[in-house]
Every structure is written in C-alpha cells, then in structure tokens.
C-alpha cells in the first residue's frame, strides 16, 4: 500500500473505522507541509550523522569532555563528574594524547582534573585530591608541559584549600 504524505491530523478518520475523511489542503498549507517534510528529512540525516559519530571513541571522548566542562561552569557537579569519568573511560593514551592529536592539553589529564573538581564541589575532598594526583601522575608520564602545568595548578589549589601550603608549592 502507498504511504500517505498527508499528516495524520489532516487525514482524520471516518466514523466506525470507515474510510478516512481527507481534507484538501490549501496552497499555503501544502507549502507549509512541504517545508516541514524537508525539515524532517534534514533532521533525520543529521541524526544519522550523529549516530555514526557516536560510534567513534574520539567523538565520544570530546562530547563527554565538553559536557563536563560546560556543566561544571553551570554548577552541575554531579553530571560533571559523570561525563568526566565517561570521557576518561573512552580515553586511549595512544590515540588521544596531545602529541598524537595536536591538542593543547591531554584529554585524559583534563577529564581527571574536571572529575577532581566536581568531587571537591560535591563534598568529597579526599577523593578529589586522589583524582587530582592521578591527573598529575598521568601528566608526568606524558612529558607534556602544558598538561603537567594544568594538573599542577589543580593539585596546588586542592592543597591550598586543605591548608597544606608547603605541599602546594611547585614541584619539579
């Protein structure tokens, strides 16, 4: 059977399941329907493109990291932690480190750092410090100066907030 291109609200249904009553569309209504149909087809194409991108770990990493970053600055610390940890779960140091991607800082270091900030804001200072130290250890393994500076800054902030001023001093 041929599929009707008319929206169900326009087709209607006859009484007792009889043949549907069809309303003829005006020229203006038909043009609006054509425009909606084109928009639907474009949206379906965009969704398909998004679905394919979601299968790529690099896209998932970037999506979760970006969400963690934005959510943190919106004060949504629970979702920040969740997205930072999901990003860290798909992070592959061989594929996603700044030497391989040309990025400014290592996504693994960034994700661990945002997770640590979220943990701090959620009231878990010990977990936050451990996560921050994990980010710092990862940055040191990479020998990537900017990532190391980023992780050192976050670790120093946690030490200062805990009153551990001597331990917050720069390390070589």
Task: For residue range 110-126, list pLDDT tens digits in order.
Answer: 899 999 999 999 999 99
Q: Which of 3-12, 94-103, 148-157, 159-168 has the lowest mean pLDDT?
A: 3-12
Residue 64, pLDDT score: 86
Among 77, 144, 160, which residue's Cα sits nearest to residue 114? 77
Residue 59, pLDDT score: 79
Tokens of 130: 């451990």
Residue 81, pLDDT score: 94
Q: What is the mean pLDDT of the segment spanning 121-136?
A: 92
pLDDT: which is higher, 118 or 58? 118
Q: What is the spatial distance between Cα 118 and Cα 72, in angstroms, rounded to a whole number?
A: 7
Among 146, 143, 141, 74, which residue's Cα sits nearest to residue 110? 146
Query: Residues 46-79, buried b or exposed e (16+ Cβ, 10 A)?
Result: eeeeeeeeeeeeeebbbbbbebbbebbeeebbee
Among 22, 26, 19, 27, which residue's Cα sits nearest to residue 10? 22
Residues 6+ apart with CB under 8 A from 129: 116, 155, 158, 159, 162
């Amino acid at each position: 059977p041929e599929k009707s291109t008319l929206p169900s609200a326009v087709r209607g249904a006859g009484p007792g399941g009889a043949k549907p009553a069809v309303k003829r569309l005006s020229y203006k209504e038909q043009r609006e329907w054509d425009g909606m149909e084109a928009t639907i087809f474009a949206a379906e194409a965009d969704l398909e493109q998004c679905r394919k991108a979601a299968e790529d770990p690099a896209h998932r990493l970037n999506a979760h990291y970006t969400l963690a970053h934005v959510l943190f600055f919106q004060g949504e610390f629970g979702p920040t932690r969740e997205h930072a940890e999901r990003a860290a779960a798909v992070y592959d140091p061989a594929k996603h480190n700044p030497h391989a991607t040309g990025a400014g800082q290592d996504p693994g270091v960034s994700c661990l750092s945002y997770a640590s900030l979220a943990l701090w804001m959620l009231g878990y200072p010990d977990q936050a410090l451990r996560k921050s130290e994990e980010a710092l250890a990862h940055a040191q393994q990479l020998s990537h100066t900017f990532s190391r500076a980023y992780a050192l800054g976050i670790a120093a902030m946690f030490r200062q907030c805990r009153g551990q001023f001597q331990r917050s001093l720069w390390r070589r």
